[in-house]
Amino acid sequence: MKRYQIGCALFLLFFGFFICWEARKLEMGRIVKPGPGFFPFWLGVALIIVSLALAYHFLWKKTDLSLSSQELWKGLRWEKVLFSGVALLLYAFFLEGLGYMLATFFLLFFFFRAIEAQRWPVVIFGSVITSFITYALFKLWLHVQLPRGLWGL
Amino acid sequence: MDLFQCIFYGFSVSLEPSNLFACFVGVFIGTLIGVLPGLGPVATMSILLPISFKMSATSAIIMMAGIFYGAMYGGSITSILVNIPGEAASVVTCLDGYQMARQGRAGPALGIAAFGSFIAGTVGVAGLMLLAPPLAAVALKFGPPEIFGILILAFTMVTNLASGSKLKAVAMAVVGLILGTVGLDPMVVTPRFAYGSITLMDGIGLAPLVMGLFGVSEVFLNIEKTIKQEVFKTDIKGLLPSKQDWKDSGRPIVRGGLLGFILGILPGIGAIIPTFISYSLERRFSKHPEKFGKGAIEGVAGPESANNAATAGTMVPLLTLGIPPNVVMAVLMGAFLTHGVQPGPLLMKEHPEIFWGVITSMYTGNVMLLLLNLPLIGLWVKLLKVPYGILFPLILLFCLIGVYSVAGNAWDIVVMLVFALVGYLMKKFEYEPAPLVLAFVLGRMAEESVRQSLVLSRGDLLVFFKHPISCAAILIGFLLIFSPLILSPLRKGFRRA
């Protein structure tokens, strides 16, 4: 865990440097009239200081790390998180092409079957009915903008 | 208008059919998500944010506020029956509520939670009515340095009260402020950190950020572990507490109500901390402290009252100063802004229908919750038995619909997924997302107040110390940050001596 915590502090440190670097490209202005780069630059500086303090804290001080004895992903089904994340990403890319109903049907079918395996009737009816009901509720009743894809669905 | 006229005017607004319906929808959904572990009021309010575009600003805010205090009611049901807090503010209720259920007293536990919440909620709304107008009048005199001072105080309190490492909380607040600078500069309209992307040019949306950090990441954390929800099998009868129950709970309800409201006003405290303080207070006041943790009704009445009164308390800084004291209020502020309404000292003058309508709706909502919850407890219990495998795709789907419908832009889903991953890793590495979201929402206001102060004072960096309110707020903030550094060596010295 200590290694991960130092890694996080270093990531924040690089992020702070990156913000300072990018903010310098914007107009900094003067103290009497600060420009668009002024606030982000000083925030970047603040992040650098805080991340250095964090790194020092984890490197040199005896810290009470509650998760130090156990690994972060041990005994967990992390692959389900990975598959769900990829499924959601694919949904984002295909949503406008396929349309809400079809894309949602495929997404729910995957979740109901592959992530937490349900019985086939639940998978099929659950996916169809949920896609239809949410479309009717949000698009037809509440007029929320949802994309129409193939066959106007 | 005097106070009574304002209250009557508020009721005339909140009792309009459309607002009454919005209030009902809010408290119903609030109770629902309070009952279901894993989806809190923050994510739910963000999901409903785009849908609220179709409503009037008053109805939308009434609905959003209803979700918050409705969730406090719902959270107690899960705590008492399943021993899993449906809401973070109901953690303490598990201690005695679940023990009462095991002893066959689930009914009185649920009953006193509902009645206590109602009474304390009423106390909170009364406090809000009395305190908000004078505070708003004072806040009208605030200029940019005062606003910056109060923001500094809010940030320091939020980071200081974070449950984990304070340094990590500060880092998250700074990251939140940085994320708030993405998009067009508020004063000279120059794009920052957009890299040519139209999605980023508009700034990072509050809905994708909040739903990613709170909604989707929570689902990710839940699906990687096996959740077994076992509802305690007991007959729920006798929801009306007995005379003895009332006798035992009366004072805890009043104390919890007052404590919750007063603490709720302070930045960073929210509805969770008052419940813990109320519990320890009741234990100290009790003639039988040994009964606590073994089914003492005072252990349910006090904290449940505290969390409901705190919801009214947290509204005070938002409605009067325009500064959200916690992350739920930050999302509510987002709802105000998306409807083109700026919460703050001018709200009462410019939009009295919203100000008084929302406040009085909280009272109507509390009545609805009392009438709703007692007869509907059977329904909530059935809902608790829905397996997570069926629930989580629906939660994700609502997040997707919520995010997409803000601007009809599929890239917002990608932004949400990025923050879901960030939130998932943050929780793994014990970084809290609340300071990040709060700083993100307040970032623009903080930047404007700094830059305006510097322009007005012709570049005088000491301007913040020349105004008494900002100076006091900044000094208190610094004291809060550095007090552990000063006090711990002193304590060590005393111990050695």
- For the stretch B279-306, pLDDT in tens is 888 888 888 888 888 888 998 999 989 9
- Say whether pLDDT at B323 is over 90: no
pTM, whole model, 2 decimals?
0.80
pLDDT at B230: 58
Q: Hey, are the CB atoms on B455 and A145 less than 8 Å from each other?
A: no
A101 within 8 A of A134, measured Cβ to Cβ: no
User: Which pLDDT score, from 0 to 100, does residue B294 have?
Assistant: 83
Angle between helices B327-338 and B57-82 (to 10 degrees): 150
**What residues of A are in contact with residue B485 (Cβ under 8 Å)?**
none
Chain B: residue whose CA lies nearest to A85: B417
Instruction: Report the residue count for chain B.
Output: 497
Residues of A in Cβ contact (< 8 Å) with B51: 138, 142, 144
What percent of chain B has pLDDT above 70? 91
Which residue do the tokens 């440097």 mark? A17
Interface contact A47-B171, CB threshold 8 A: yes
> Nearest CA of chain A to the CA of B72: how many Å?
27
Q: Helix (H, G, I), strand (E, B), or coil: what is residue A33?
A: strand
Rounded to whole angstroms, how far apart are CA atoms B285 and B366? 28
pLDDT, chain B, mean:
83
Spell A8-45 as b/e; 16+ CB within 10 A means b: bbeebbebbeebbebbeebebbeeeebbbbbbbbbbbb
Inter-chain contact A81–B387, Cβ cutoff 8 Å?
A: no
CA distance B420 to chain A (A): 9
Q: Which two tokens stand for residue B283?
A: 């234990």
The amino acid sitting at B203 is G
B197: left (phi over 0), alpha (psi -120 to 50) or beta: beta
Q: What is the pLDDT of residues B386-405, one digit of tens each?
A: 788 888 898 888 888 888 88
Q: Which of B53, B59, B156, B192 to mutate to test the interface with A (most CBs of A within 10 A)?
A: B192
Q: How far apart are CA B93 and CA B82, in angstroms?
A: 11
pLDDT attached to residue A127: 92
Q: Judge: A91–B413 Cβ closer than 8 Å, yes or no.
A: yes
DSSP string over B240-308: S--HHHHHHHHHHHHHHHHHHHHHHHSTTTTTHHHHHHHHHHHHHH-S-GGGTTS--THHHHHHHHHHH
* Cβ contact, residue pair A27, B190, below 8 Å: yes
Q: How far is B333 from chain A (nearest CA, A)?
A: 22
Q: How far apart, in Å, are the Cα atoms of A79 and each of A83, B392, B400, B417?
A: 6, 16, 21, 16
Per the listing, tokens 């005896």 go with A62
Please compute the mean of the pLDDT values over residues B34-55 and round it to a whole number: 78
Closest CA in chain B for residue A77: B224
pLDDT greater than 70 at residue B490: no
| CA–CA distance, B193 with B204 (Å, rounded to integer) | 10
Q: Return the biggest CA–CA distance within chain A.
A: 69
Here the tokens at position A144 are: 């929320």
Q: What is the pLDDT of residue A96?
A: 87
**CA–CA separation, B118 and B112 (whole Å):** 9
CB contact under 8 A, B190 and A26: yes
Indicate the residue of A22, A36, A117 with minimum beta-carbon distance to B190: A36
- Cβ contacts of A108 on chain B, cutoff 8 Å: 393, 397
- Choose between B83 and A23: higher pLDDT: A23
- B367: pLDDT confidence band, cut at 50, 70 and 90? confident
Residues of chain A in contact with residue B435, where contact means CB-CB under 8 angstroms, are none
* Best CA proximity match to B75, nearest among B46, B123, B42, B40: B40
Best-predicted range by mean pLDDT among A108-112, B103-107, B191-195, B365-369? A108-112
Q: Do B175 and A78 touch (CB under 8 A)?
A: no
Predicted pLDDT at B497: 57
Residue in chain A nearest B194 by alpha carbon? A22
The neighbouring-strand residues paired with B183 are: B192
Which of the listed ranges B129-133, B144-148, B164-168 does the model predict with the highest average pLDDT? Answer: B144-148
Where is pLDDT greater, at B477 or B174?
B174
List chain B residues with CB under 8 Å of A95.
404, 410, 413
pLDDT of residue A150: 66
Chain A closest CA to B312's CA: distance in Å? Answer: 29
Q: What does residue B492 show for φ and ψ, rounded to 5 degrees? A: -60, -40
Query: What stretch of H or E contains B191?
Result: strand B191-192
Residue A65 has pLDDT above 70, yes or no: no
At residue A69 the predicted structure's pLDDT band, cuts being 50, 70 and 90, is very low
How big is the CA angle at B375 (ends B369 and B379), to the nearest 5 degrees? 95
Residue found under tokens 């940030």:
B155
Q: Checking DSSP bridges between strand A29-30 and strand A33-34, what pairing results, if any?
A: antiparallel
Count of A–B CB contacts within 8 Å?
A: 162
Amino acid at B104: G
The terminus-to-terminus CA distance of chain B in angstroms comes to: 62
Helix, coil or strand: residue B334: helix
Which residue would you say has higher pLDDT here, A18 or A115? A18
* Residue B267 falls in which region: left (phi positive, over 0), alpha (psi -120 to 50) or beta: beta
**Residue B241 and residue B105: Cα distance in Å, rounded?**
10
pLDDT value of position A116: 80
Alpha-carbon Rg of chain A, whole angstroms? 24
Supply the pLDDT for residue A19. Answer: 94
Which site among A39, A57, A61, A135 would you substitute to test the B interface, given the most B Cβ atoms closer than 10 Å to its Cβ?
A39
pLDDT for residue B494 is more than 70: no
Question: Which helix (H) or strand (E) element contains residue A29?
Answer: strand A29-30
Partner-chain contact B429 A91, CB within 8 Å: no
Would you give the DSSP letter of residue A142? S
The C-alpha atoms of residue B117 and residue B87 are separated, in whole angstroms, by 14
Q: What angle do CA B40, B43, B47 make, to 5 degrees?
A: 135
* pLDDT tens-digit series, residues A25-52: 888 888 888 888 999 999 999 999 999 9
Shortest Cα distance from B85 to chain A (angstroms)?
A: 22
Q: Burial of B234 by CB count in 10 Å (0-12 exposed, 13-18 middle, 19+ buried)?
A: middle
Give the mean pLDDT of B64-93. 80
Alpha-carbon distance of B71 to B27, in angstroms, equals 8
Write out chain A residues lying below 8 Å of B394, CB-based: 130
- Cα separation values, A109 from B63, B281, B348, Å: 32, 50, 49
- Dmax over CA atoms of chain B, in Å, equals 71
Given a cut of 90, whether residue B422 has pLDDT beyond it is yes
Residue A67 burial class via C-beta count within 10 angstroms: exposed 0-12, middle 13-18, buried 19 and up: middle
- On average, the pLDDT of chain A sits at 85
| Partner residue opposite B413 with nearest CB, options A92, A111, A146 | A92
Mean pLDDT in residue range B189-210:
85
> What pLDDT, on the 0 to 100 scale, is given for residue A142?
74
Average pLDDT, integer, range A99-124: 89
Using the beta-carbon criterion (under 8 Å), do B171 and A50 form an inter-chain contact?
yes
SS3 B192: strand
Look at strands B183-184 and A33-34 and give their pairing.
Answer: unpaired
> What SS3 state is found at B409?
coil
> A80 to chain B nearest CA, in Å?
6
* Token pair for B232: 């305690």
**pLDDT for residue A11:** 93
Backbone angles phi, psi at B246, to 5 degrees: -65, -40
Does residue A63 surpass a pLDDT of 80?
no
The per-residue pLDDT for B226 is: 64
- State whether residue B378 is helix, strand or coil: helix
